[in-house]
Structure 1
Amino acid sequence: MMDRKQLERALTATIEATRAENMALRVEIERVKASAELAKTNEKERIEMYTTVEREIEKRVRRAVEEELHAKFAKFKSRAEAAQGKATERATKADDLMKKLESKYDADMAENLKILKWSYEEDVDSERAKVAEME
């Protein structure tokens, strides 16, 4: 059997080993806590980063859509202006043609009236000559 000193030494060694193990466990607990805190911080930073990236992507997408819409609007506007210019040009040509036709019609009518007047005067002169012969 063991004597008292041996028991005290064994008990002291066990207590010292338990203290050392307890200290190691406390250090491990603190390390795990620090790791958990770091993980929380990293998670918050990750969430903030994703939020920032998401906002930036949304901003860029909006800007790209706005630029595309602006480009389409400018393209359609230029097409509309070109179509309006062609329509104005065609209307001007049609107006010029109508003026020429009206002018030609007026000239032809004036010529026809001259011919009709001349023919009438010829007929009147011819009738006067006949009347003069009969007298």
Structure 2
Amino acid sequence: MKKHPLISALTAAAIVLGSGFAVADQAGNVKSLRNDPIDATNRLDEVLHQQSGRVARNYRQQPPLIPHTVDQYQIDLSANQCLACHDWTKAGERGAPTLSMTHYQGRDGEQLDEVAGTRWFCNQCHVPQANAPALVENEFESSN
């Protein structure tokens, strides 16, 4: 009697899937960072408000924290709203810090008149500052 290849494949898939559920079921001790059940709706403890003023950096070459809200800022392939104030052509008149010259260097170190594509997405390195508690305990100490 000759088995059809589709039936053999379905049988093998069912065995693999069943064993995967068994392994997942044994991992019942998985916890979230907030110690809530994995399937529970995320809860927000308290609203963490933006800190006013600039916060000192914790280590050398740390990207500066953003001292204002950026909730409604458009930063995508077609626009970067941060540059309306922080581009070298506008920072002086807006009273905003100018971007570091490293943001105007291409991949090969050549100087550009516009922000390099590798530095276009500001929130890839810079985050708004907030007095938020650590999600996990740590022993981090700022450098001198």
Same fold (TM over 0.5): no
Larger radius of gyration: 1
Q: What interval of TM-score do these two structures reach, taking the shorter chain for normalisation?
A: under 0.3
Between 1 and 2, higher relative CO (CA 8 Å, sep ≥ 6) is seen in 2
Task: Give TM-score scaled by structure 1 length.
Answer: 0.20
Task: Give TM-score scaled by structure 2 length.
Answer: 0.19
Structure with more helix by fraction: 1
